[in-house]
Amino acid sequence: MFEFSFEIYEVSKENLVDYLGTILVLILFIIERVLNGRNQKKDSERNWYLNVIVQPNLEELKSFFKNYKRVTIESFKYLYSFTPEKNNKVFLNIKSKEFDRIKDLRRGEIETFLLLINSFDVDLYSSLSTVIRDMEDWIIKKADEELDIEEVLYDFEDEYSFIVNEFMKHLYKPI
């Protein structure tokens, strides 16, 4: 029994470097396969996101933002054209109608797009819908206050550019 163990010890000692080398190569091979598999999964997820979610909807997104800008400027100009007795019933009604017109843009195509995002990535959905809601809040707050129209339109240009950039930044984050 003792001799047998000794023989094994002798064999192991002689080939120790070879064994370790083989084991190391094997470990590196497994690590490389696992990482490759993970990278492939990430790549296919990225490609899918870009080709199925982002690119087919890009034109619609651009048209949404363009339309949003046009409608908002129209609404600002229209609402700011009323000066006397801004809180009378007729004006409240007009205001609510204009606000609803702006909200309807959000309720349309962009909402369908955001629902698609929601089924892909909840956090991304949350970031993008927050950007859209922030834009809506900014517009409605400004339209609800009695400010200088020129100043509001000037500020809106800045806010609009900021919002579109934020949206695109979040949209391309997973890529």
Separation of alpha carbons 11 and 74, rounded Å: 88
Whichever of 44 and 67 has its CB closer to other proteins, that residue is 44
Kindly state the smallest distance separating residue 118's Cβ from other proteins, in Å.
6
Residue whose C-alpha is closest to residue 120's, from 57, 30, 165: 57
Nearer to other proteins, 7 or 137 (CB): 137
Give me the residues that bind other proteins (CB under 8 A), please. 41, 44-45, 48, 87, 89, 92-93, 95-97, 99-100, 103, 107, 115, 118-122, 125-126, 129, 133-134, 136-137, 140-141, 143-146
Closest CB to other proteins among residues 11, 92: 92
* Smallest distance from other proteins to CB 72, Å: 14
Complex with other proteins: residue 77 or 86, whichever CB lies closer: 86
Would you call 118 exposed, middle or buried from its count of C-beta atoms within 10 A (0-12, 13-18, 19+)?
middle
Q: SS3 for 96-119, per residue?
A: HHHHHHHHHHHHCHHHHHHHHHHH
Q: Residue 15, SS3?
A: coil
> Least Å distance between CB 174 and other proteins?
9
Q: How far is the CB of 134 from other proteins (least distance, A)?
A: 7
Cβ-contact 149, 79 below 8 angstroms = no
Return the structure tokens found at 44: 């296919």
